[in-house]
Amino acid sequence: QSALTQPASVSGSPGQSITISCTGTSSDIGRYMYVSWYQQHPGKVPKLIIYGVSDRPSGASNRFSGSKSGNTASLTISGLQAEDEADYYCGSYTTSSTLVFGGGTKVTVL
Amino acid sequence: EVQLLESGGGLVQPGGSLRLSCAASGFTFSSSPMNWVRQAPGKGLEWISALTASGGTTYYIDSVRGRFTISRDNSRNTLFLQMNSLTTEDTAVYYCARESPRGDCSYDYWGLGTLVTVSS
């Protein structure tokens, strides 16, 4: 099972919106609505910020939103803030009954 | 409050074995599918294994199948990962993670992780 494809880095200025893509295949993202996103600050534990493609768990900022089209999922961060600087990972359930993560995207706030 | 606490990591030589534990509290452990996820130094997250709530069905990534065994003791609220035939490629922080009760394959709680270093 190959990792999902994410851009290595994305950057934006405070207040701007940025979008992180996550590309899979018809055996994972394209097949299921089980896409999740995680935020990980340096030296910290990953935190769930989006589940079920576009739902937010309690405690996650409403500046995070998710979507999916075909084999590609996306995470949008609106009103970018300094605290959003972190690594972001997508994850998807697969037809092999496993989970696969993306390679991760480092978000930099300029 | 949900808590997951891993232990058992350390330095091991190539070809050696380790057994990781994850002590769970604050939720009904026996109802929760559980997972192990690892992160090599400076690298991304890698899902490696899952176990159903009853412990009856296991899942593994190809690179660890046949070498690692996931198990659980619901009477002790503890998840395990037996790791054999370790290689330097297995060096990573190992996290246990709970699958959300929503059943949507997202991981809503993670432990702090335990570091496994495979080196001679």
What are the chain A neighbours of B103 within 8 Å (beta carbons)?
A: none
**Phi and psi at residue A82, to the nearest 5°:** -55, -35
In angstroms, what is the C-alpha Rg of chain B? 13
CA dihedral A2, A3, A7, A10 (to 10 degrees): 180
Q: Does B36 touch chain A if contact means CB atoms closer than 8 Å?
A: no
Test A52 with B44 for CB contact under 8 angstroms.
Answer: no
pLDDT at A1 over 90: no
Min CA distance, B93 vs chain A (Å)? 10
Taking only the tens place, the pLDDT of each residue in A13-64 is 999 999 999 999 999 999 999 999 999 999 999 999 999 999 999 999 999 9
Test A99 with B50 for CB contact under 8 angstroms.
Answer: yes
Taking only the tens place, the pLDDT of each residue in A55-102 is 999 999 999 999 999 999 999 999 999 999 999 999 999 999 999 999
Q: What is the reported pLDDT for A38?
A: 98
Test A99 with B102 for CB contact under 8 angstroms.
Answer: no
What are the chain B neighbours of A43 within 8 Å (beta carbons)?
A: none
Q: Return mean pLDDT, chain A.
A: 96
Q: What is the reported pLDDT for A50?
A: 98
Q: What is the reported pLDDT for B113?
A: 98
Q: Is the sign of the CA dihedral A25, B95, B83, B34 positive or negative? A: negative
Q: What is the reported pLDDT for A2?
A: 84
Taking only the tens place, the pLDDT of each residue in B7-35 is 999 999 999 999 999 999 999 999 999 99
- SS3 assignment, position B97: strand
Q: What is the reported pLDDT for B34?
A: 97
pLDDT tens for chain B, 120 residues long, are 999 999 999 999 999 999 999 999 999 999 999 999 999 999 999 999 999 999 899 999 999 999 999 999 999 999 999 999 999 999 999 999 999 999 899 999 999 999 999 999
**Cβ contact B12:B29 at 8 Å:** no
Q: Is B113 left (phi over 0), alpha (psi -120 to 50) or beta?
A: left
Strand pairing report for A105-109 and A9-12: parallel
Test A104 with B45 for CB contact under 8 angstroms.
Answer: yes
Q: Which residues of A57-72 are buried (b: 16+ CB within 10 A; e: fewer)?
A: beebeeebbbebeebb
Closest chain A residue to the Cα of B4, Cα to Cα: A45
> Cα–Cα distances in Å, from A25 out to A55, A74, B8, B37?
21, 14, 36, 21
pLDDT at A3 over 80: yes
DSSP string of B4-45?
Answer: EEEE--EEE-TT--EEEEEEEESS-GGG--EEEEEE-TTS-E
**Phi and psi at residue A24, to the nearest 5°:** -125, -140
Test A51 with B102 for CB contact under 8 angstroms.
Answer: yes
Q: Does B119 touch chain A if contact means CB atoms closer than 8 Å?
A: no
Cα distance between residue A89 and residue A33, in whole Å: 16
Min CA distance, B38 vs chain A (Å)? 11
Test A52 with B104 for CB contact under 8 angstroms.
Answer: yes
What are the chain B neighbours of A87 within 8 Å (beta carbons)?
A: 44
